[in-house]
Amino acid sequence: MRALRLEAWKSDPVLADVPDPEPGPGQAVIRVGGAGACHSDLHLMREFEGGLLPWEPPFTLGHENAGWVLALGDGVTGLEIEQPVAVYGPWGCGTCARCRPGLENYCEDPANAPVPSGGGGLGLDGGMAEYMLIPDARFLVPLPDGLDPLIAAPLTDAGLTPYHAVRRSWGKLPPGATAVVIGAGGLGHMAVQILKATTAANVIAVDTRAEALDLALKSGADLAVPSGDDTAAGIREATRERGADVVLDFVGSDSTLAMAAAAARTLGDVTIVGIGGGTLPLSFFSVPYEVSLQTTYWGARPELVELLDLASRGLLRPDIVQFPLNRAMDAYRQMEAGNLNGRAVIVP
């Protein structure tokens, strides 16, 4: 089969012929219905280098995937051939204290995971190919009725990552609260929809691009403001000088982190999701009192089940641009140039 392979750090991936995967005991193979193109893949192709992550190229890209069960290995129960499924992406050991309740994104025994701190498309072969090997069938989540793998694919990362980040801050988002989404791209436009579907907060979206601000408004944002030096002051003004209860930064550069801290309200949450390489100096006076700062990585398996349910009930709808496998690099180039809106999904 054809697969889009990252052969080395800091290089463009290449289309190559690789053997069709076969499932061993407890494993499964899916026919890929969609594989989302994430900005993290661009970080792999452009900035990351050996030693930063606990795995190395070569592998097939594509870490947000859904499709149909093609083959099941010995001992797999509870799944049917041709059943539509989403792939839970962070592959942990399955038995440590974090994995048992489904927080495999924070596995504490990575040496016994299929790949340490990664998954298919991040260290092991992902979904930018006709077929994908799933090393343990528990990583497959059956799709609720009516949900197409094409829609489900971006939900597994562009949806799940902001869902986890929003969900952990639900307690700080009662009616009257304000949430700010910085960077209304693949993850950010989903964050806006998730905030509107699961909280009564006012949602303010921030982006540098007019098209992204339009998409944020279409996704339900109450206000969409251009990103600049006076953005935080504008957010404070729009919240009667209180600031935002929750700020989610899907960029993570020096300037957006500074904006996030300056826009936050006392007792608020500032959550860094974007891997933009920025830093945020922290001192007694640099953030309002009792602001909690955290990074988050992906989400939990039960959260993916909840998210798929929201989507199957029509409460979430990722904005998707489709590309065939042989044009996958065009998707990344458009993303890099700032010409892509919503999420690119590769359809092999």
The site string for ligand NAD over 214-243 (x = CB under 6 A, - otherwise) reads: -------------x----------------
From the list ligand NAD, Zn ion, none, pick the one residue 39 interacts with, judged by a Cβ distance below 5 to 8 Å according to partner type. ligand NAD
Q: Which is nearer to Zn ion, 155 or 264 (CB)?
A: 155
Task: State the amino acid at position 165 in one-letter form.
Answer: A
Are 348 and 32 within 8 A, CB to CB?
A: yes
Q: Select from 92, 149, 252, 299 the one that contacts Zn ion (CB under 5 A).
A: 92
Per CB under 6 A, 40 contacts ligand NAD:
yes
Q: Select from 27, 40, 178, 341 the one that contacts Zn ion (CB under 5 A).
A: 40
Are 135 and 330 within 8 A, CB to CB?
A: no
Q: Which is nearer to Zn ion, 45 or 232 (CB)?
A: 45
The Cα-based distances of 158 to 30, 39, 88, 214 in angstroms read 20, 10, 12, 18
Task: State the amino acid at position 50 in one-letter form.
Answer: G
Interacting residues with ligand NAD between 262 and 301 (CB under 6 A) = 273-276, 296-298
Per CB under 6 A, 117 contacts ligand NAD:
no
Are 61 and 121 within 8 A, CB to CB?
A: yes
Cβ 324 to Zn ion, closest distance in Å?
Answer: 20
Are 10 and 42 within 8 A, CB to CB?
A: no
Cβ 63 to Zn ion, closest distance in Å?
Answer: 5
| Tokens (6 digits) for 196 | 């509107």
Q: Which is nearer to ligand NAD, 112 or 208 (CB)?
A: 208
The Cα-based distances of 67 to 5, 31, 35, 148, 154 in angstroms read 19, 5, 9, 8, 12
From the list ligand NAD, Zn ion, none, pick the one residue 184 interacts with, judged by a Cβ distance below 5 to 8 Å according to partner type. ligand NAD
Per CB under 6 A, 256 contacts ligand NAD:
yes
From the list ligand NAD, Zn ion, none, pick the one residue 323 interacts with, judged by a Cβ distance below 5 to 8 Å according to partner type. none
Query: DSSP 3-state assignment of 152?
Result: helix
Q: Select from 124, 152, 182, 287 the one that contacts ligand NAD (CB under 6 A).
A: 182
* CA distance linking residue 101 with residue 94, whole number of Å: 9
